[in-house]
Amino acid sequence: MWLTGQMTIPVLIISMLLFFILFFGIGFILNMLLRMTWLMAIIYPIIALLIIDDVRFIDYFTDTSRAFHKLGDKLSLLHAPDIIILICGLLGAIVAGITMKTLRKKGYRMF
């Protein structure tokens, strides 16, 4: 029942749920406070890249070719469970946007 390395099916399911809830919650709060429905869905890829790579953010501007080369190497080494967990985070951010849009359409006003 091992997927890759030390990750079992229950750990994968819990990780997927945690990433979904974490980014849903962050997205919901950002949407409520800033009134920008899709902000977290737009920011999420940047956050995911910061989670994946070990290059400083400033290196993408100062040493662009090396930083993107290292990012490409890291992306190619991702395993299926890692990709699934990151996709669940993105889905959480998107569902937060859909939820806020639906609540606003039904007349709820937040802050």
Percentage with pLDDT > 90 across the chain: 68
How many H-runs (helices) and E-runs (strands) does the chain carry? 5, 2
Q: What is the pLDDT of residue 35?
A: 85
Tokens of 100: 């806020």
Which of 33, 38, 30 minimizes the C-alpha distance to 110?
A: 33
Angle formed by the axes of helices 80-105 and 39-52, nearest 10°: 160
DSSP H or E run through 70: helix 64-76
| Element at 8 (helix H, strand E) | strand 7-8
H/E stretch holding 86: helix 80-105
Task: Report the chain's mean pLDDT, rounded to a whole number.
Answer: 89
The token pair at 46 is 């940047």
Position 1 scores a pLDDT of 37
For CA atoms 7, 4, 48, 88, give the dihedral sign.
negative
pTM, two decimal places: 0.84
The predicted pLDDT at position 109 comes to 77
pLDDT single digits (tens) 36-78: 888 999 999 999 988 898 888 899 999 999 999 999 999 999 9
